[in-house]
Amino acid sequence: MDRWPSKWMDLPIGGVINIPGTSTWVKTGTWRSHRPVVDLDKCIKCLMCWVSCPDNSIIRLDDDYVDVDYTYCKGCGICANVCPTKAIDMIEEGGR
Amino acid sequence: MARQIRRLSEIPREELFVSGHGLCAGCGIPPMVKIALKAVDGPKVVVNATGCLEVATTLYPHTAWRVPWVHNAFENAAATASGIEAALKALRRKKNWKNYKIIVFGGDGGTFDIGLQSLSGALERGHKFIYVCYDNEAYMNTGIQRSGATPVGAATTTSPAGSVIPGKPENKKNLMDIVLAHRIPYAATINAAYPVDMWNKFAKASDYLEKGIGPIFFHYYSPCPVGWRMDSSLSIEISRLAVQTRLWLLYEVDHGKIKINVMVRKPKPIEEYLKLQGRFRHLLQPENSHIVERLKRYIENNWNRLLKLAELDSIY
Ligand SMILES: Cc1ncc(C[n+]2csc(CCOP(=O)(O)OP(=O)(O)O)c2C)c(N)n1
Ligand code: SF4
Ligand SMILES: [Mg+2]
């Protein structure tokens, strides 16, 4: 099964969720008031932001540089705070 | 064999704990869970006591887990894990099942307080599992009530700081001491500001389980921006400060032998830690200086005690 049944009769018995990782259907990026922006010129590929992100919103690229996936990012600012070179800025959403 | 690492780039990319969960922005729980699920290799099953992690990651029909996961009540996570271990043993004998590793996650309320007797029973019976207590120092999911893990002086909704009490009047319970009293093979404290150390401890635990060695216990320092009344960006910084002030000691106890993982030679003043958190802000008022003094005495004695214990060949 890869889609959640639309009829209650088809629901799995016992409150079981039989599809792994269905929370990715919930786009928590809408929570955000500030967004992280990475300056790759300053990034030293330490990956502290990547291991520390509670929402797996730091994308680790093939060469270990990083990017942000805004779909789930709640804007907590941990990535900007842990970055040893201050390569990540938090910018207000809707602002310029 | 699970792999020991020296750099974060050695950690595999694929996540078993995924996005879209409802834990607060900046919550300290996920950085630990992500590492635990990757460092413990092979098939595994997760047992989760109720609390923030359980509630916020499984809002039906949404689950953030890509491993088998079972909900149980607040007080019996360790008992559930014991039962799973026994069931897996029988299935392996009769039906040639795979060997699943069992990882339990319980909050401080679920471990220090209400689940303590089921944990003690399971540790004493020697079930082979990893139990992780993520300690955010209060019952957060129900609205920041004080627990046995809440430190002295911390304001919670049931120990509000004011003219009657200066935050929680009682001391934090020493859970590691209680766990070590069971003389289990491996126990350690873990902290998200030291992810390589955390990974290597989980990897070692994984190898021990592989060899039938257990139970294993981890005490995780789990920052909670909401309950600690601090900025959501500070979770990792506060984790590091907790170690650098010697408030949170990073050590492991391997078959009775203590090893201090981070030697803090010049501790930072505890005030630096306290002032970042609203739950402690009142302690910086002159009338509450006796609480800060009490904390300082505890920090010093606790550190000296660990140094002494680490000199022994075994504390068991
Ligand atoms: C027997 C029982 N009593 C009370 C509750 C309500 N309850 C659910 S979660 C929770 C707090 C859990 O605190 P903790 O274990 O510290 O985890 P946290 O929420 O802080 O992550 C409480 C009191 C319950 N589920 N079961
Ligand atoms: S209340 Fe605290 S522990 Fe619970 S989800 Fe929010 S930040 Fe995490
Ligand atoms: Mg708690």
Task: Tell whether the torsion through CA atoms of B197, B55, B58 and A32 is positive or negative.
Answer: negative
Instruction: Give the nearest partner residue to A76 out of B26, B60, B195, using CB atoms.
Output: B26
State whether B19 and A78 contact (CB < 8 Å).
Answer: no
Distances (CA, A) of B289 to B54, B97, B153, B278, B294: 38, 59, 10, 16, 9
* Count of beta carbons in the 10 Å neighbourhood of residue B313: 8
Q: Which of B32, B55, B74 to mutate to test the pocket of ligand 1 (most atoms within 8 A of CB)?
A: B74
Q: Is residue A20 part of a domain?
A: no
Span B301-311, pLDDT tens digits: 999 999 999 99
CB distance B26–A27 less than 8 Å? Answer: no
Is the residue at A2 inside a domain? no
Residue B290: inside a domain, yes or no?
yes
Query: Would you say residue A73 lies in a domain?
Result: yes
pTM: 0.97
Q: In this structure, is residue A87 part of a structural domain? A: yes
For B183-201, letters b (16+ CB in 10 Å) and e give ebbbbbbbbbbbbbbbbbb
Domain interval for residue B27: 11-311
Query: pLDDT band at residue A95, thresholds of 50, 70 and 90?
Result: low
Give the model's confidence band at A3: pLDDT under 50 very low, under 70 low, under 90 confident, else very high. Answer: confident
Please name the residue whose Cα sits nearest to atom 8 of ligand 2: B27
A33 in B contact zone (CB under 8 Å): no
Give the minimum alpha-carbon distance from B21 to chain A in angstroms, rounded to a whole number. 6
Mean pLDDT of B35-55: 98
- pLDDT digits 0-9 by tens, A59-90: 999 999 999 999 999 999 999 999 999 999 99
Q: State if residue B48 touches ligand 1 by the CB under 6 angstroms criterion.
A: no
Q: Within a domain: residue B111?
A: yes
Q: Does A68 touch chain B (CB under 8 A)?
A: no
Domain enclosing residue A58, as ranges: 27-92
Number of other residues whose CB lies within 10 A of the CB of residue B296: 15
Q: How far apart are CA B316 and CA B313, in angstroms?
A: 9
The reply to whether A19 falls in a domain is no
Closest residue CA from atom 1 of ligand 2: B140
Contact B141, B164 (CB under 8 A): no
The set of residues, in sequence order, having a beta carbon less than 8 Å from that of B90 and lying 6+ positions away, is none
Nearest chain B Cα to A24, which residue? Answer: B20
CA B51 to ligand 2 center in whole angstroms: 9
Q: Is residue A9 part of a domain?
A: no
Residue nearest to atom 2 of ligand 2 (CA): B224
Answer yes or no: is pLDDT of A94 > 90.
no
pLDDT in tens, B172-210: 999 999 999 999 999 999 999 999 999 999 999 999 999
The per-residue pLDDT for range B262-309, each reduced to its tens digit, is 999 999 999 999 999 999 999 999 999 999 999 999 999 999 999 999
What is the per-residue pLDDT for A96?
A: 55
Q: Say what percent of chain B tops pLDDT 70.
A: 100
Is the model's pLDDT at B258 over the cut of 90?
yes
Asked if B34 and B134 touch (Cβ cutoff 8 Å), the reply is no
At B92-141, the pLDDT tens digits run 999 888 999 999 999 999 999 999 999 999 999 999 999 999 999 999 99
Residue A49 lies in a domain: yes
> What CATH number is associated with residue A31?
3.30.70.20
Residues forming a β-bridge with B191 = B221
Q: What is the pLDDT of residues B48-82, one digit of tens each?
A: 999 999 999 999 999 999 999 999 999 999 999 99
- Residue B17 with chain A: CB contacts under 8 Å: 56
CA distance B68 to chain A (A): 8
What is the tens place of the pLDDT at every residue in A50-64?
A: 999 999 999 999 999
Nearest CA in chain B to A52: B31
Please indicate, yes or no, if residue A69 is contained in any of the structural domains. yes
How many structural domains compose chain B?
1
Q: If we measure between CA atoms, which residue out of B307, B310, B215, B216 comes closest to residue B257?
A: B310
Return the CATH number at B204.
Answer: 3.40.50.970
Q: Which residue in chain B is spatially nearest to A57 when comparing CA positions?
A: B19
Q: Which atom of ligand 2 is nearest to the CA of B228?
A: 2
Nearest by CB to A76, from B65, B195, B232: name it: B232
Chain A residues in contact with B240 by the CB 8 A cut-off are none
Name the residue among B8, B19, B35 with its Cβ closest to that of A56: B19
Q: Are strands B251-254 and B186-191 parallel, antiparallel or unpaired?
A: antiparallel
For chain A, give the percent of residues with pLDDT over 90. Answer: 93
Please state the domain count of chain A: 1
**Chain A residues close to B24, C-beta within 8 Å:** 74
Q: What does the longest C-alpha to C-alpha distance in chain B come to?
A: 67
Q: With 80 as the cut, is the pLDDT of residue B33 above it?
A: yes
Residue B38 lies in a domain: yes
Q: Is residue B3 part of a domain?
A: no
Ligand 1 contact via B107 beta carbon (within 6 Å)? yes
